[in-house]
């Protein structure tokens, strides 16, 4: 898909690179912003495009250079990529060399056996479609979105390698892989001369799986970075649900968060974490974001936003003092793994 050329009134903030720290992704040469912007939700056809455009451009003005996408993101599938492509063509085309653009393939986007899974056919055909969605000839990072245990890992890795060899991606990544399979993929990629850049797992105060299964340690051993998603546990690590469920809240209509998880136990734990945050002069969301970024293996945390205010608020998490041992102990007490997540 080509969006042509457009006149734009947008000029990026000249001070954007002073507003956020950048971190090296594993043993690579690539730096990513401490916060990356994810288009997982609220960037489909069900939200106003002008609002999306405003948020994306504001993120870039804040120094967020990495925009994370996938063929599934919408609704409908691919809509988030197409919407970002419109902004890229209209406003950000002259800044393309300063943008890290990533996408993923492998999760189902239709009933066809070729629209899901880790086969060469599925991954490379999706990447070609994604490039048309974005209106660009390459992405910076191409991910296998989820492991496909029915496909030989050699085939999935081979498709990632081909994407780089064909000039359609600069780096490759994995998402949602358990450590054993991630290590196997990392070894195969290294042998092919295309080292694994990054892995994208879920991680938050309420979801500690990467601490428990060894992925944090593996990232450092195998030399790849971690970019964590859902650091706010789909809004559970905010003050939104401490008392009632707001009418416009995600839990009302989201397929990723059910009102059933908003139990008294959740509210008691979240309230104690909120008290800690308030004692530090920050919000619960800012505390949760600061907590995931304290891990040396975590290169970046993925955040979304429904407004520029929310984006500004989240990035202020970088301005608070480091968490003390005493504060971390309080988080350990009340940040119980599985809270609100049906784990």
pLDDT tens-digit map of 164-187: 999 999 999 999 999 999 999 999
Least confident of 21-35, 252-266, 280-294: 252-266
Domain range annotation of the chain: 16-236+285-322
In 137-212, at which residue ranges do the beta strands (DSSP E only) sit? 139-144, 169-175, 196-200
Q: Which of 320, 331, 79 is nearest to 204 (CA)?
A: 331
Neighbours of 57 (CB within 10 A): 20
pLDDT at residue 2 is higher than 90: no
Rounded to whole angstroms, how far apart are CA atoms 251 and 320?
29
pLDDT at residue 250 is higher than 60: no
The larger pLDDT score, comparing residue 165 to residue 5, is at 165
pLDDT digits (tens, 9 = 90+) for 27-77: 999 999 999 999 999 999 999 999 999 999 999 999 999 999 999 999 999
The larger pLDDT score, comparing residue 283 to residue 259, is at 283
pLDDT at residue 248 is higher than 90: no
Rounded to whole angstroms, how far apart are CA atoms 47 and 246?
19
Whether residue 76 is preceded by a cis peptide bond, meaning omega within 30 degrees of 0, is: yes
Percent of the chain whose pLDDT exceeds 90 = 90
Tell me the average pLDDT of the chain: 95
The CATH number, out of the four listed (3.40.50.300, 3.20.20.70, 1.10.150.120, 3.20.20.100), of the domain defined by the range 16-236+285-322: 3.20.20.100
pLDDT value of residue 326: 98
Q: Between vectors from CA 331 to CA 262 and to CA 179, what angle results, nearest 5°?
A: 85
pLDDT at residue 219 is higher than 90: yes
pLDDT value of residue 343: 60
Rounded to whole angstroms, how far apart are CA atoms 228 and 295?
11
pLDDT at residue 254 is higher than 90: no
Average pLDDT over residues 196-215: 98
pLDDT digits (tens, 9 = 90+) for 285-339: 999 999 999 999 999 999 999 999 999 999 999 999 999 999 999 999 999 999 9
pLDDT value of residue 7: 75
Assign 8 a pLDDT band (cuts: 50, 70, 90): confident
Quote the distance between the C-alpha of residue 284 and its chain's center.
20
Rounded to whole angstroms, how far apart are CA atoms 107 and 177?
13
Distances in Å between the Cα of 116 and the Cα atoms of 276, 293, 316 are 43, 32, 38
204: Cβ contacts below 8 Å, ≥ 6 apart:
228, 230, 231, 232, 233, 237, 288, 292
pLDDT digits (tens, 9 = 90+) for 142-172: 999 999 999 999 999 999 999 999 999 999 9
Which element (helix H / strand E) includes 236? Answer: none
Rounded to whole angstroms, how far apart are CA atoms 324 and 321?
9
Average pLDDT over residues 110-132: 98
Place of tokens 């195998």: 222
């Amino acid at each position: 898909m080509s969006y042509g050329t457009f006149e734009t009134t947008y000029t990026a903030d000249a001070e954007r690179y002073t507003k956020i720290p950048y971190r090296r992704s594993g043993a690579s040469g690539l730096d990513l912003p401490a916060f990356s912007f994810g288009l997982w939700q609220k960037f489909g056809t069900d939200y106003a495009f002008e609002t999306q455009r405003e948020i994306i451009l504001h993120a870039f003005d804040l120094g967020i250079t990495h925009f994370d996408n996938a063929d599934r993101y919408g609704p409908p599938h691919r809509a988030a990529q197409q919407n970002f492509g419109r902004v890229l063509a209209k406003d950000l085309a002259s800044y393309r060399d300063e943008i890290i653009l990533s996408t993923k393939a492998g999760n189902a986007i239709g009933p066809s056996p070729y629209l899901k899974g880790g086969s060469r056919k599925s991954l490379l055909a999706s990447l070609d479609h994604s490039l048309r969605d974005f209106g660009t000839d390459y992405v910076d990072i191409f991910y296998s979105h989820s492991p496909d245990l029915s496909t030989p890992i050699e085939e999935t890795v081979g498709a990632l390698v081909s994407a780089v060899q064909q000039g359609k991606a600069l780096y490759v990544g994995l998402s949602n892989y358990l450590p054993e399979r991630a290590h196997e993929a990392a070894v195969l990629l290294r042998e092919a001369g295309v080292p694994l850049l990054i892995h994208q797992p879920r991680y938050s105060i309420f979801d500690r799986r990467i601490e428990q299964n060894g992925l944090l340690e593996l990232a450092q051993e195998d030399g790849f970075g971690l970019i964590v998603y859902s650091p706010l546990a789909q809004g559970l690590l905010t003050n939104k649900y401490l008392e009632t469920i707001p009418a416009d809240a995600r839990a009302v209509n989201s397929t990723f968060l059910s009102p059933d998880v908003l139990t008294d136990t959740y509210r008691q734990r979240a309230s104690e974490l909120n008290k800690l945050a308030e004692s530090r002069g920050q919000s619960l969301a800012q505390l949760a974001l600061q907590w995931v970024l304290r891990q040396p293996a975590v290169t970046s945390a993925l955040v979304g936003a429904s407004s520029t205010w929310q984006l500004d608020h989240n990035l202020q998490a970088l301005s608070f003092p480091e968490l003390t041992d005493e504060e971390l102990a309080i988080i350990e007490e009340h940040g119980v793994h599985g809270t609100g997540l049906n784990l």
